[in-house]
Chains A and B, each alone.
Chain A
Amino acid sequence: MDYFIELLFSGLTRGSIYALIALGYTMVYGIIGLINFAHGEIYMIGAFTAFIVATILSILGFPALAIIVLAGLAAVVWSASYGYTIEKIAYKPLRHAPRLSPLISAIGMSMFLQNYVLLAQTSDFLPFPQLISDFNFMEPVAHIVGSTDLVILVTTTVVMICLTILIKYTKIGKAMRATSQDRMMAMLVGINVNRIISVTFIIGSSLAAIGGMLIASHIGQINFYIGFIAGIKAFTAAVLGGIGSIPGAVLGSVVLGLTESFATGYVSSDYEDVFAFSLLVLILIFKPSGILGKADTQKV
């Protein structure tokens, strides 16, 4: 039973991280219909930023909590500025081009960022400092649920609640939904669609940065390639849940995380990816629009 609960929590933790990244994919897809393949790299840059800032601050002797908060903030701001800039450079000029063009631009951007970090940093794995120390109150259950897992779950939940409130109740959130449902009409009611797109990239990148920092301190090492794998998994989760749907991205991520965790625990860790992508294939065969996605019907 302990083993089951351990796997359950490890699956939820994975799922949370996937969700933080998958939201960026699904929100951008919802607004401009583009799979932003550079999104994984934003996550990786978030992890690197947190790494650099955390290392500097710990040398300067800052307390642990201050390091987490400041490193997190730095990662969010830095990744968000990358997300914003990428959209302006690589996607905005292609707004009216055929759909394939921005997609190729996104793949190019992804490769560029990977190699840029490779050159600017290193190709080696860097040991990521353990930002979150073990809590005393977690002692009795520490063999099942780690303190980092708890922090990841709580942080993700708080972030999701904030995002839901933003999307559902604020003016900018309503404008984002309106833009994703009917862009021309959004323009006709006076919404500055370019601004909405920028805000979407900023929010998505911030979430990815938070995910990057959390997972890096959980796993304990980073390199320039982590964005690719995490990006593919999170993209899978977004498609699984129904691309374009925000609750779908979260649900898809949790399902994917749990699948991977249980497959690893009960079958073999060698088959982790096999199970993940088999799940995707099954969903695509039997419900191509994803778990919560709506079938794309054209009204005439």
Chain B
Amino acid sequence: MLKLEKVQSGYGNILAVKGISLEVNDGEIITLIGANGAGKSTTLLTISGIVPCRSGRILLKGEEIQSLESDAIVKKGVVQVPEGRHIFPQLSVQENLDMGAFMRTDPRKVKDDLDYVYSLFPILKERRHQDGGTLSGGEQQMLAMSRALMARPQLLLLDEPSMGLAPLIIKQIFEIIQKINQESNTTIFLVEQNANLALQVANRGYVLENGKITISGSAKSLLENQDIRKAYLGL
């Protein structure tokens, strides 16, 4: 599905991602874990074309996408829920979802998808006329994920979906993530600081340290890895 080859990117003089290579296969959930400032979000923003890729290649189904504009990348089915959710605060819940379907050209299927996300998160249907900015953190995360689903992603990039949420809500969000993966066969690239949680739902994982990938492997092997247990799982 997606392949990164020696990708470098950053801001100004600072290189945040220092030549990382990784691969996401069709239908799997992979996770990128790492500490604050390791370059996780920058990696996702580079894939989406927000932060320019300085060198290396990003391949989507074998096709280079690193020089495409962000809207072209969304059209190819790569959709991101950024860190901090980024709900449009003065658009209603419904309008936020409409924006998720901005580049869709099949209004009838959009309607089906709307019903689907409302069935996933009934609370959003209740609040559909409310401004996005008035929702609670958990509801905003639900809305952010629903908005991304409205674009019918083939590859869903999730940046810190657990951030700032209550444990019960986090559990619910992660159940939905697995459900999305299984029901619509959406490939998921999950970035998390909560490594324990991420490795429990993922098939495989990569550990990012200071802009470089240091360890990779199956989620199970990472959970058992002594270094990771010490550094990221607090065990």
Binding site for B on A (CB under 8 A): 171, 174-175, 177-178, 181-182, 184-193
Contacts and interface: CB of A to CB of B under 8 A. Distances in A.
Nearest to B48: A188
A187 B100 CA distance: 11
B98 interface: yes
Contact of A185 (B71, B86, B90): B86
Interface stretch (B17-25, B74-82, B184-192, B203-211): B74-82
Contact of A188 (B86, B91, B95): B86
A189 B91 contact: no
A178 B86 contact: no
B151 A181 contact: no
B91 A190 contact: no
Q: Which 4 A-B pairs have the closest CB atoms?
A: A190-B74, A190-B103, A185-B86, A187-B70
Nearest to B157: A188
**Interface residue SS majority, chain B:** loop
Interface in B195-230: none
Contact of A190 (B50, B75, B87): B75
A235 B71 CA distance: 33
Contact of B50 (A171, A181, A187): A187
Contacts of B49: 187
A188 B89 contact: no
Interface string B60-88: 00000000011100110001101000111
B102 interface: yes
Contacts of B3: none
Contact of B151 (A186, A190, A193): A190
Given A171-B102, A174-B98, A185 B88 contact: yes
Contacts of B82: 184-185, 188
Contacts of A193: 71
B90 A177 contact: yes
A296 to B, nearest CB: 13
14 contacts: A171-B98, A174-B95, A175-B99, A182-B88, A182-B89, A184-B86, A185-B82, A187-B49, A188-B48, A188-B50, A189-B79, A189-B99, A189-B100, A190-B102
A82 to B, nearest CB: 26
A191 B50 contact: no
Contact of A192 (B69, B87, B89, B99): B69
A190 B76 CA distance: 10
A187 B99 contact: no
Contacts of B98: 171, 174
A188 B70 contact: yes
B40 interface: no
A181 B89 contact: yes
